[in-house]
Amino acid sequence: MTAVALTQDEAFARIRLLRSANIGPVSYAQLLHRFGSAVEAVAALPDLAARGAKRNYKPAPREKIEREVEATRKARARYLFHDQPDYPALLAAMEGAPPIVTMRGDIALAAKPCVAMVGARNASAAAVKLARDFARELSEEGFVVVSGLAKGIDGACHEGAMPATIGVIASGIDIAYPPQHAKLQEQIASEALLIAEEAPGTEPRGQQFPKRNRIIAGLAMGTVVVEAAPKSGSLITARLAGEAGREVMAVPGHPADSRSQGCNQLIREGAVLVQSAADIVELLSGFDGQPRSSVQEQGPGWLYNESEPEVSADSVVDLLSTAPVAVDELVRQTGGTHGAVQMALLELEIAGRLQRHAGGRVSLG
């Protein structure tokens, strides 16, 4: 999307739009395309929700957004919008990339070659040392190390790479988590780059960590997993990286150590085995700055033209269940245009009746 100069009113409306109930990255983008501005989109939300069978829908209160903006200012942070020139290009290519983040520090770090490093919170002493050494060596080779400020591997990576590091947190920009890393988080914000998707004041909750993980994977050309148990958050980050066409790397470990089972599983499934920072540098040296496979951006082509036959929200609901289905399948079965079906889905989502899934699939909410 072409970069634009935002007025204060439009920037405020964008934050308000994203903070309104049932608005996610996909519906946010569709609403901006549909109405041309967040000011117009916010005004249209109650009518769209009513068309999806939800009455009395109200956008996020202005007073709440005013308090958020003041809290962001007080935290010495600033907003970064999806179509501003310094929004990281690789992150923008991720499916469901955050339309707005808050940040402290040097955003220019995100434009440099980045590698994500993640791993276990209860990591072994040997793995912590290896992660710190890898991160330091990668920073010396000109890479920026991205991680999630968790205990164990994440913290070691940030410390080793400082100040060539980016911390991505699941809380608001003004909340230190875990508390033991408050000093490290402030150091990253002051000397490197700290990024948060949630509003200031937001305490970390379980569902926010996978969202944080997609940002970690999205910022980087590749993700390295140092030590991880099966079904850990680190494996979610690796999966998201792979789905986005980025490199996935893992450090092998002893099969008897449960903390190595996740890494060994990744290698068995096709991740690249790495045993040194030089292995990582060699693998990423051929990366040209573009994902090996990218998610297609939803442009104006999906939009509903009012001269087209309408597809009602109820007719789409009749085809939906709790099992995710591709939007293209709904287009085929309704006989409507892609834009008309997307418009019906948007109405259902704002009404809280629709859930979106990876790969452009939807289900009943």
* pLDDT at residue 4 in the model: 54
* pLDDT at residue 299 in the model: 42
User: Which domains does the chain carry?
Assistant: 103-284 (3.40.50.450), 301-364 (1.10.10.10)
- For the segment 106-125, the average pLDDT, to the nearest whole number, is 96
Lowest mean pLDDT among 32-46, 153-167, 211-225, 276-290: 276-290
- For the segment 307-321, the average pLDDT, to the nearest whole number, is 87
- For the segment 293-304, the average pLDDT, to the nearest whole number, is 43
* pLDDT at residue 95 in the model: 87
pLDDT mean across residues, the chain:
92
Looking up tokens 């990876």, which residue turns up? Answer: 358
User: Percent of the chain at pLDDT above 70?
Assistant: 93
* pLDDT at residue 297 in the model: 39
Half-sphere exposure of 208 (CA within 13 A, CB side): 15
* pLDDT at residue 305 in the model: 60
**153 pLDDT above the threshold of 80:** yes
pLDDT digits 0-9 by tens, 172-202: 999 999 999 999 999 999 999 999 999 999 9
| Amino acid in the structure at residue 154 | D
**103 pLDDT above the threshold of 70:** yes
Q: What is the largest CA-CA distance in the chain?
A: 65
First-to-final CA distance of the chain: 29
Confidence of residue 289 (pLDDT cuts 50, 70, 90): low
**74 pLDDT above the threshold of 50:** yes
Here the tokens at position 173 are: 């920009």
Angle (CA) 216-129-289 rounded to 5° is: 30
**300 pLDDT above the threshold of 50:** no
* pLDDT at residue 358 in the model: 82
**296 pLDDT above the threshold of 60:** no
**163 pLDDT above the threshold of 70:** yes
* pLDDT at residue 78 in the model: 97
**308 pLDDT above the threshold of 90:** no
Angle (CA) 284-285-289 rounded to 5° is: 75
Closest CA to 316 of 87, 26, 72, 53: 53
Looking up tokens 């501005």, which residue turns up? Answer: 37
Confidence of residue 23 (pLDDT cuts 50, 70, 90): very high
- For the segment 141-157, the average pLDDT, to the nearest whole number, is 97
**2 pLDDT above the threshold of 50:** no
**128 pLDDT above the threshold of 50:** yes
* pLDDT at residue 5 in the model: 72
C-alpha radius of gyration, the chain, whole number = 21
**306 pLDDT above the threshold of 80:** no
